[in-house]
């Protein structure tokens, strides 16, 4: 049999990795076998590291993973499907349920920003009884997305296992996390300044003569909730010299981030004599207004209410809601910009980009009862 010239061999069609155990076969019928050692030598790493990369295992640095993939390319072998270059232009966006209008607003900003950059967003929404965040993540990874943006996900839940994000990073999938922070996750975070938001609300109500101000918000295990509590307690201490422990015990009520949750929390705070209530979402604020009206109270004559988010149509409620505006456009655009940097190979350091909110004064706040000489 005539020996095939080296040049002809080098110009053979791309060969394909198959299996997951390091076996390599050419696309053509003539059998050629390359051992893990060949790839390891080309990449300058151990055979064990090559095996971990080929099998999609975590625990391999991004630069090392790229070296192994480059070795496959140099040797002329097609990457396994799970390791092929993520160049389809798809980006996953995982959000909570869309009942709260702030999530559709953020989704729209992110989607538009991705589209302008030539990417196609894939929206994956969690619903009660539906797919979990982990299941949605796996679905997006299987579809070869270039990266994922998580909005108010498990990264915001201090009781959740953060290892899921490190495993995702180990699989070579870039991601950015919006609303929430964990020191255990090596990724960029995008957040509003929740502490500053509470300071804005409390300062505004104090200027109207309110001294008994309550805070209605969600379960304490969430990072944004904890930060709002910190900001609220500090503001109440600075404005009125209140003891932090007394503030947490008497003036803070946890509930759900729903209209019904706001109604229940506001009822409890009104029972404690609050003349003003700061809510951690606009939905909760609408529930607080409903609770006041069920008691025959007028907003803002008898009780003032402040929301958080400034979501769609809130300016047209009755009364128009005073709220702390979440910087949604800036946050959404920053999330996309940061993710594209990750995809492009210039990742941001493990850091949090914090955006300043803005107080929007409308018709749901007024001078405290008994202090009507104020404007």
Task: Determine the pLDDT at residue 63.
Answer: 72
Q: What is the pLDDT of residues 161-193, one digit of tens each?
A: 999 999 998 888 999 999 999 999 989 999 999
Give the position of tokens 């002809």.
8
pLDDT one-digit tens code per residue, 229-251: 999 999 999 999 999 999 999 99
H or E element at residue 101: none
Is 11 inside any structural domain?
A: yes
Does residue 341 sit in the same domain as residue 321? no
Query: Is residue 167 in a domain?
Result: yes
* Boundary (domain end) residue, out of 308, 325, 342: 325
Examine the domain organization and report whether 233 and 180 are in the same domain: no
Rounded (5°) CA angle 127-128-132: 65
CB distance 351 to 188 below 8 Å = yes
Q: Which pLDDT band, with edges at 50, 70 and 90, does 15 fall under?
A: very low
Query: Is 312 within a domain?
Result: yes
Residue 367 near residue 360, CB atoms below 8 Å: no
Cβ–Cβ < 8 Å for 280, 257: yes
| In the chain, % of residues over pLDDT 70 | 85
Q: Which of 61-70, 84-93, 288-297 is the most confident on average? A: 288-297
Q: Is the pLDDT of residue 364 over 60?
A: yes
98 lies in the same domain as 168? yes
Do 202 and 308 lie in a common domain?
Answer: yes
Whole-angstrom distance, CA of residue 66 vs CA of residue 70 = 6
Structure confidence at residue 230 (pLDDT): 98
**Cα 140 to Cα 133: distance, rounded to the nearest angstrom:** 11
Give the integer Cα–Cα distance in Å for 25 and 19.
10
Answer whether residue 1 is part of any domain: no
For 252-279, what is the mean pLDDT?
Answer: 97
Cis peptide before 319 (omega within 30 of 0): yes
CA distance 255 to 291: 14
Mention every residue, 6+ apart, whose C-beta is less than 8 A from residue 348.
188, 338, 341, 342
Contact indicator for 6, 68 with CB cutoff of 8 Å: no
Answer yes or no: do 181 and 200 share one domain.
no
Q: Decide if 362 is inside a domain.
A: no
Count of helix runs (H) and strand runs (E) in the chain? 13, 15
- The pair phi, psi for residue 254, each rounded to 5°, is -90, 145
pLDDT exceeds cutoff 80 at 61: no
Q: What's the distance, Cα to Cα, between the start and end of the chain in Å?
A: 101
Domain that holds residue 185: 90-192+328-355
How many domains, the chain?
A: 3
**Average pLDDT taken over every residue of the chain:** 86
**Which pair of tokens denotes residue 345?**
């190979």
Q: Is the pLDDT at 254 greater than 60, yes or no?
A: yes
CATH code, domain carrying 216: 3.40.50.2300
Q: Which residue has the tokens 């025959």?
A: 296
- Say whether both 128 and 33 belong to one domain: no
Q: What is the mean pLDDT of residues 329-352?
A: 89
For 152, list phi and psi in degrees, rounded to 5: 45, 50
Of 45, 66, 83, the position where a domain reaches its end is 83
Contact status, residue 101 vs residue 312, Cβ threshold 8 Å: yes
Token pair of 62, please?
Answer: 């991004």
pLDDT (mean) for 103-125: 93
């Amino acid at each position: 049999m005539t020996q095939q010239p080296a040049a002809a061999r080098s110009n053979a069609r791309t060969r394909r990795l198959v299996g997951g155990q390091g076996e390599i076969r050419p696309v053509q019928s003539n059998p050629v076998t390359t051992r893990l050692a060949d790839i390891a030598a080309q990449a300058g790493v151990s055979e064990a590291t090559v095996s971990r990369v080929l099998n999609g295992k975590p625990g391999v640095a991004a630069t090392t993973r790229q070296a192994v993939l480059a070795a496959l390319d140099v040797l002329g072998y097609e990457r396994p499907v799970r390791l092929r270059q993520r160049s389809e232009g798809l980006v996953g966006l995982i959000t909570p349920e869309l009942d709260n209008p702030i999530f559709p607003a953020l989704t729209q900003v992110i989607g538009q920003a991705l589209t302008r950059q030539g990417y196609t967003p894939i929206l994956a929404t969690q619903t009660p009884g539906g797919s979990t965040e982990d299941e949605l993540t796996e679905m997006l990874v299987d579809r070869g997305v270039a990266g994922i943006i998580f909005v108010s996900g498990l990264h915001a839940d201090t009781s959740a296992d953060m290892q899921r994000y490190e495993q995702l990073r180990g699989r070579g999938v870039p991601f950015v996390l919006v609303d929430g922070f964990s020191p255990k996750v090596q990724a960029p975070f995008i957040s509003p300044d929740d502490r500053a938001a509470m300071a804005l609300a409390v300062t505004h109500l104090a200027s109207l003569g309110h001294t008994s101000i309550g805070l209605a918000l969600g379960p304490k295990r969430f990072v944004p909730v904890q930060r709002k509590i910190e900001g609220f307690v500090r503001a109440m201490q600075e404005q009125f010299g209140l003891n932090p422990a007394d503030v947490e015990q008497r003036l803070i009520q946890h509930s759900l981030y729903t209209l019904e949750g706001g109604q229940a929390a506001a009822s409890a705070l009104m029972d404690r004599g609050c003349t003003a209530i700061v809510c951690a979402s606009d939905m909760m604020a609408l529930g607080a207004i409903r609770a006041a009206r069920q008691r025959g109270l007028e907003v803002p004559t008898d009780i003032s209410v402040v929301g958080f988010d400034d979501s769609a149509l809130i300016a047209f409620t009755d009364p128009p809601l005073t709220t702390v505006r979440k910087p949604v456009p800036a946050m959404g655009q920053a999330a996309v910009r940061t993710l594209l940097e990750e995809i492009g190979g210039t990742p941001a350091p493990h850091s949090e980009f914090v955006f300043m909110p803005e107080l929007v004064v409308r018709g749901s706040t007024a001078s405290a009862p008994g202090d009507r000489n104020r404007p």
